Chain A
Amino acid sequence: MNLTVTNLRKDFATVRAVDGVSFDVTPGQILGLLGPNGAGKTTTIRIILHILEADEGNVTYDGSAFSSRVRNLVGYLPEERGLYRKSKVMDTILYFAALRGMGPSHAHVSGQRWLERFSLGDAGGRRIQELSKGNQQKVQFIASVIHDPPLVILDEPFSGLDPMNQIILKDAMQEMKQQGKAVIFSTHQMEQAERLSDTICLINRGKVVLGGSVRDVKQRYGKNSLHVEFDGNGSFLSSLPGVHRAILFERAAELELASGTSVRTLIAAINERVDVRKVEILEPSLQSIFLQIVGDDALADAPVPQAPGGRTA
């Protein structure tokens, strides 16, 4: 499905939750909706799903406005997880299929296939509350895509899943992409978005601060990142001269370089303190870009300290 979101605006009592958000998704594309908590991702999704009404702007689905027909074409996994605790797994899946206009026999076959894929093949007759949280989440995912919708919207689909199931979910999303579905997923984990999405839309405080294909975005921010792998304690890295910002991992770091920094001097300085195993100059990661944009933004918004010599009694 071609989804076009144009200039959405939504105000709540005291906050502007969404402020001029625009993006589009085409069939066979995965869009990562990024941003910190409270950025307006979920509100945007709710507007697309017609759960909330926008104060301004509009959304079109394959070029036409929302209609009851659209409801059957969308699969939605909400951020807050929940199912009917006392109901049986397969019954629940069939109910959600029926709600989107899918017949029970077809839904049963497809539901069973999904369950097996998530290694829940024998869980169909069990009650939801008997399953672990992670498994409940998988059932909820199945329930939201059981009707094979051309537009899939997943709000924080990876949170709460163990690495194994994250991989299964990623595969499923890739497969949906291959099938020509448009997939939108929100996350605040940049690495995930980076690896999975074709395009991103980075929202902060209701505004789109960065958008476009992942490749374009990274190119735009140039090759000014030094990726280092080392043995030892790297906590000193952020305070080295020439390092604008450091993102630290266990035995690895991504250093955002200030302009004019000599890479050779820097590497030497690092090598003095830890054993460097690998050094690479790369495009910045999305996380680094995100911090560049959002971090600076946050600083700009901070209250300006009063100039010395001002009006102090």
Chain B
Amino acid sequence: MKKVIAVARWEYLEKVRSKAFLIGLFLTPMLMVGMAILPGLFVAQEDHDAKAIGIVDATGAVAEAFARTMGQKYLLANGKPNYVIVPLAVGKGLNLEQEILKANGLVASKQIEGYCLIPPTALKDTVIEYRSSVVGDFRVPLRIQETVKGILTEMRSGIMGVDPALVHRINVPLDVHTVKISKEGEEEDSGFEKVFFSSYIFLMMLFFLIVTSGQLLVRSVIEEKSNRIVEVLVSSCSPTELMAGKVLGLSALGLTQMAFWGVIGLAVSAQFGLNLIDAGQALLLLVYFILGYLFYSAVFIAAGSPLTTEQEAQQVTSYLVMVLILPIVLALPAMKNPDATWLKVLTYIPPLTPTMMALRIPIQMPAAWEILTTVLLMIVSIYLAMVAAGRIFRIAILSTGKTPKIKEILRWVRTS
């Protein structure tokens, strides 16, 4: 046990001081906050200058009202209109093809931001187009939609002989405010963004945690193999002690990282008055984090110790990254339908269990039996993975030169 601790201490201290670890420690939270906040900032950013928007109106009935409403309704911070509407062609019987060609030229030469195309059939089909070089900014089309809808409604009500004021009163503006109801039936004021944000953050944390320390582990084993330090190590302690020490040291490293991020997370959420997660959930997440961490330590040892070069290590790591990243890809569909069967099925595949749970817990607390089963499943999987990793490690660390074939590695696992 003394030797296990000596190895653990060494692994921990050497890695905690390494550049790779320090970069991961600071960069990861910055990256996560960046990814979560930056797109929001860009989307929500108000325009500083007025934008020129053209209109090609083949009905001849919309353009004037459009220009008026857009100019009055949407203002810049300085009180001036946000949009300057440029009537490009208005009237019935336009040569649309020709007008579109001209308008496209104006967009291309950046004289206008984009233009609104109202086809002659717009009154019946209620389909219009917004054409622009920038289609990513969804605010402009949204505002155009609102405006043209209002104009068309007014026109139709006129045709049908309904008082426009009445229509205005009937047409209630509506906002949907989402409230999350927990399993216990308690209401919680939680928007989609918050759930998405917290699920996403925990997934990313777990992901980076496992990947950074996994890489550190593989790299150190390869170094020890290539310069034959491993011979001195194995003549000083048994391979089992060596591996146990590595796992222990690495786990301490992981806990350090988690604690550090946890403190940052708390500070950030306190700053912005966010309450991403309650204590119970946090504790449960921590359990899955540790389980996932241990499981992947074994996986990285098993996959990494037979390797002989950095390049191979990168390759193998990238395969494991793909497995780990899967739940991140699934985050959005999972939020739309947290009760889906596929979501539950994936949770019971051990390599995915921790990440799937990190995804599911903030969205909707899984049932107690699910938690119990998955934790037990993980413990059994960790045990089996460690035994297999130990068998591979024992042989692999002393076989230098050629990287063994997978068939050979499987034989190591079966025998001994």
Distance (whole angstroms) from the CB of A143 to the closest CB of chain B = 7
Instruction: Decide: A76 near B231, CB < 8 A? Known: A87-B14, A98-B6.
Output: yes
> Does B178 lie at the interface of the complex (its beta carbon under 8 Å from any beta carbon of A)?
no
> Does B26 lie at the interface of the complex (its beta carbon under 8 Å from any beta carbon of A)?
no
Q: How far is the CA of A80 from the CA of B224 in the complex (A)?
A: 12
Tell me if A99 and B233 are in contact (CB < 8 A): yes
> Does A84 lie at the interface of the complex (its beta carbon under 8 Å from any beta carbon of B)?
yes
Near A by CB (< 8 A), chain B positions 1-55 give 2-3, 6-7, 9-10, 13-14, 18
Instruction: Decide: A78 near B231, CB < 8 A? Known: A99-B3, A99-B237.
Output: yes
Chain B residues within 8 Å of A68, by CB: 237-238
**Max chain A Cβ within 10 angstroms of own Cβ: one of B6, B9, B18, B231:** B231
> Does B227 lie at the interface of the complex (its beta carbon under 8 Å from any beta carbon of A)?
yes
Chain A residues within 8 Å of B2, by CB: 98, 101
Tell me if A83 and B227 are in contact (CB < 8 A): yes
Task: Choose, from A43-51, A208-216, A226-234, A298-306, the stretch at the interface.
Answer: A43-51
Tell me if B232 and A95 are in contact (CB < 8 A): no
> Does B398 lie at the interface of the complex (its beta carbon under 8 Å from any beta carbon of A)?
yes
Interchain CB contact (< 8 A) of B227 among A72, A82, A99, A101: A82
Q: How far is the CA of A101 from the CA of B3 in the complex (A)?
A: 7
Near A by CB (< 8 A), chain B positions 224-252 give 226-229, 231-238
Tell me if B10 and A95 are in contact (CB < 8 A): yes
> Does A118 lie at the interface of the complex (its beta carbon under 8 Å from any beta carbon of B)?
no
Near B by CB (< 8 A), chain A positions 25-71 give 46, 49-52, 68, 71
> Does A8 lie at the interface of the complex (its beta carbon under 8 Å from any beta carbon of B)?
no
Q: How far is the CA of A74 from the CA of B233 in the complex (A)?
A: 12
Instruction: Decide: A83 near B229, CB < 8 A? Known: A49-B235, A51-B398.
Output: yes
Tell me if A82 and B229 are in contact (CB < 8 A): yes
**Max chain B Cβ within 10 angstroms of own Cβ: one of A50, A51, A83:** A51
Chain B residues within 8 Å of A86, by CB: 14, 18
Interchain CB contact (< 8 A) of B14 among A71, A78, A83, A84: A84
Tell me if B236 and A82 are in contact (CB < 8 A): no
Closest to B245 in A: A99
> Does B223 lie at the interface of the complex (its beta carbon under 8 Å from any beta carbon of A)?
yes
Instruction: Decide: A95 near B226, CB < 8 A? Known: A71-B235, A86-B18, A144-B232.
Output: no
Interchain CB contact (< 8 A) of A76 among B9, B10, B232, B238: B232
Tell me if B238 and A51 are in contact (CB < 8 A): no
Tell me if A71 and B236 are in contact (CB < 8 A): yes
Tell me if A78 and B10 are in contact (CB < 8 A): no
Total chain B interface residues with beta-carbon distance under 8 A: 23
Determine the main DSSP class of B at the interface with A: helix
Distance (whole angstroms) from the CB of A92 to the closest CB of chain B = 9
Total chain A interface residues with beta-carbon distance under 8 A: 29
Chain A residues within 8 Å of B3, by CB: 98-99, 101
Distance (whole angstroms) from the CB of B54 to the closest CB of chain A = 62
Distance (whole angstroms) from the CB of B3 to the closest CB of chain A = 6
Determine the main DSSP class of A at the interface with B: loop
Interchain CB contact (< 8 A) of B226 among A71, A82, A98: A82
Closest to A49 in B: B235
Chain B residues within 8 Å of A74, by CB: 235
Tell me if A100 and B227 are in contact (CB < 8 A): no
Closest to B2 in A: A101
Chain A residues within 8 Å of B238, by CB: 68, 71
**Max chain A Cβ within 10 angstroms of own Cβ: one of B7, B227, B235:** B235
Distance (whole angstroms) from the CB of A107 to the closest CB of chain B = 11
Q: How far is the CA of A52 from the CA of B13 in the complex (A)?
A: 30
Tell me if A71 and B237 are in contact (CB < 8 A): yes
Q: How far is the CA of A50 from the CA of B6 in the complex (A)?
A: 20
Q: How far is the CA of A101 from the CA of B238 in the complex (A)?
A: 13
Tell me if A80 and B227 are in contact (CB < 8 A): yes
Tell me if B227 and A81 are in contact (CB < 8 A): yes
Chain B residues within 8 Å of A98, by CB: 2-3, 6, 9-10
Chain B residues within 8 Å of A72, by CB: 236
Closest to A143 in B: B232
Chain B residues within 8 Å of A76, by CB: 231-232, 235
Q: How far is the CA of A50 from the CA of B233 in the complex (A)?
A: 12
> Does A221 lie at the interface of the complex (its beta carbon under 8 Å from any beta carbon of B)?
no
Q: How far is the CA of A121 from the CA of B2 in the complex (A)?
A: 29
> Does A23 lie at the interface of the complex (its beta carbon under 8 Å from any beta carbon of B)?
no
Q: How far is the CA of A256 from the CA of B10 in the complex (A)?
A: 55
Chain B residues within 8 Å of A51, by CB: 231, 234-235, 398
Distance (whole angstroms) from the CB of B391 to the closest CB of chain A = 15
Closest to A97 in B: B6
Closest to B5 in A: A98
Distance (whole angstroms) from the CB of A151 to the closest CB of chain B = 11
Interchain CB contact (< 8 A) of A95 among B6, B18, B231, B235: B6
A sample of 20 cross-chain residue pairs with beta-carbon separation below 8 angstroms, ordered by A number, consists of: A46-B231, A68-B238, A71-B236, A71-B238, A72-B236, A76-B235, A78-B232, A80-B227, A81-B227, A82-B226, A82-B227, A83-B227, A85-B227, A86-B14, A91-B13, A98-B2, A98-B3, A99-B3, A99-B6, A143-B232
- Other than the given A50-B235, A84-B223, A99-B7, 11 more pairs (CB < 8 A) read A52-B398, A79-B228, A81-B227, A82-B226, A87-B14, A95-B6, A96-B232, A98-B3, A99-B6, A100-B236, A101-B3
7 shortest A-B CB distances, which residue pairs? A82-B227, A98-B6, A99-B236, A80-B228, A49-B235, A78-B231, A95-B10
